[in-house]
Amino acid sequence: MTHAQKSADGSKALYGGTQQRRITVRDLAAAKERGEKWPMLTAYDATTASVFDEAGIPVLLVGDSAGNCHLGYDSTVPVTMDETAVLSAAVVRGTRRAMVVADLPFGAYQEGPVQALRNATRLLKEAGVGAIKLEGGERSLPQTELLVRSGIPVMAHLGLTPQSVNALGGYYVQGRDEEAAQQLLRDAKAAQDAGAFALVLEMVPAELAAEVTRSLHIPTVGIGAGAGCDAQVLVWTDMAGMTSGRVPRFVRQYAKLRETLGDAAREFARDVVDGAFPAEEHSFR
């Protein structure tokens, strides 16, 4: 089949395609070749993951944003390997088609490549994820290299790396000055050379993210990184309007789930207080 015929064949599309088996790193590589953009969402439980899987989202991330968005912490820093393993296993159980990527949480790979391999292996064996993500380019090179050599697909994460929030002093745009932009380009190349299959770019100027995307053969996944990336990711609770409080500027809300769910809870409560629930059909004789 020629390249043009392949491009015209929508059945292979990551989003909207007919393929039922689980998405693999080869499918993502092929999508970059076709110039096809794709969506990624976070998920932290089986029910929500099954909704996104049925909606055709090809890649689901068990992000350590679970810290803020699922577990009630103030940041991603407190998230543990035990928590990650439980949430990842649930997301895998809730899906049939999506590639499930799990974040190695803070402290689970910083000691070195052997620690990274031990913890990543646990997520593949215990939870059944298809790939892992870790933060950093050059600084995480030994970890990425050993994981890839061991047969574990690695997604890198550059720009704003939330596990370093205490060192960065907040959640700010990264790579703004020339020196930081050059470092980001070096980090991106390093991640690709180490064998990473994809690269998250978080809160990076759009022009820089587009330059990184053009200079790599692996797909970039943007969040607050403009339209020039190969893929886009959002935290699902932000995307669906479920997050409590302020959401980052790069978020578009596609639903008002928090309002909808609150209304449902209030209506249920009123019915119970008024004696309107349960009705005859909910009762057994």
Ligand X SMILES: CC(C)C(=O)C(=O)O
Ligand Y SMILES: Nc1nc(=O)c2c([nH]1)NC[C@@H]1CN(c3ccc(C(=O)N[C@@H](CCC(=O)O)C(=O)O)cc3)CN21
How many CA atoms within 13 Å lie on the side-chain side of 192? Answer: 16
Name which of ligand X, ligand Y, none residue 42 binds, using a CB cut-off of 5 to 8 Å depending on partner kind. ligand X
Q: Which residues contact 1 (CB under 8 A, 6 or more apart)?
A: 9
Q: What is the 3-state secondary structure (H, E, C) of 16-37?
A: CCCCCCCCCHHHHHHHHHHCCC
Q: What x-and-dash track marks residues 40-79 binding ligand X by CB under 6 A?
A: --x------------------x-xxx--------------
187 annotated ligand-binding residue: no
103 annotated ligand-binding residue: yes
Residue 146 or 234 having the CB closest to ligand Y: 234
64 annotated ligand-binding residue: yes
Beta bridge partners, 202, equal: 159, 223
Residue 84 or 192 having the CB closest to ligand X: 84
- Under the binding rule (CB under 6 A), the answer on residue 36 touching ligand X is no
Name which of ligand Y, ligand X, none residue 147 binds, using a CB cut-off of 5 to 8 Å depending on partner kind. none
138 in active site: no
Annotated catalytic residue, options 145, 202, 211, 280: 202
DSSP secondary structure string for all residues of 131-156: EEEEE-SGGGHHHHHHHHHTT--EEE
Least distance (Å) between residue 281 CB and ligand X: 42
DSSP secondary structure string for all residues of 193-234: HHT-SEEEEES--HHHHHHHHHH-SSPEEEESS-TTSSEEEE
How far apart (Å, rounded) are the C-alpha atoms in residues 191 and 1?
A: 32
135 annotated ligand-binding residue: yes
CB neighbourhood size of 220 (10 A): 26
Least distance (Å) between residue 102 CB and ligand Y: 15
Q: What x-and-dash track marks residues 219-258 binding ligand X by CB under 6 A?
A: ----x---------x-x-----------------------
How far apart (Å, rounded) are the C-alpha atoms in residues 263 and 285?
A: 31
* b/e sequence 124-137, b meaning 16+ C-beta within 10 Å: beebebbbbbbbbb
Name which of ligand Y, ligand X, none residue 243 binds, using a CB cut-off of 5 to 8 Å depending on partner kind. ligand Y
> Looking at 27, 36, 53, 103, which residue binds ligand X (CB under 6 A)?
103
How many CA atoms within 13 Å lie on the side-chain side of 151? Answer: 3
- Annotated binding residues for Mg(2+), written as ranges, equal 64, 103, 135
**Residues in binding site:** 64-65, 103, 133, 135
Catalytic sites, residue numbers: 202
The residues binding ligand X (CB under 6 A) are 42, 61, 63-65, 103, 157, 200, 202, 223, 233, 235
Binding positions for 3-methyl-2-oxobutanoate are 64-65, 103, 133
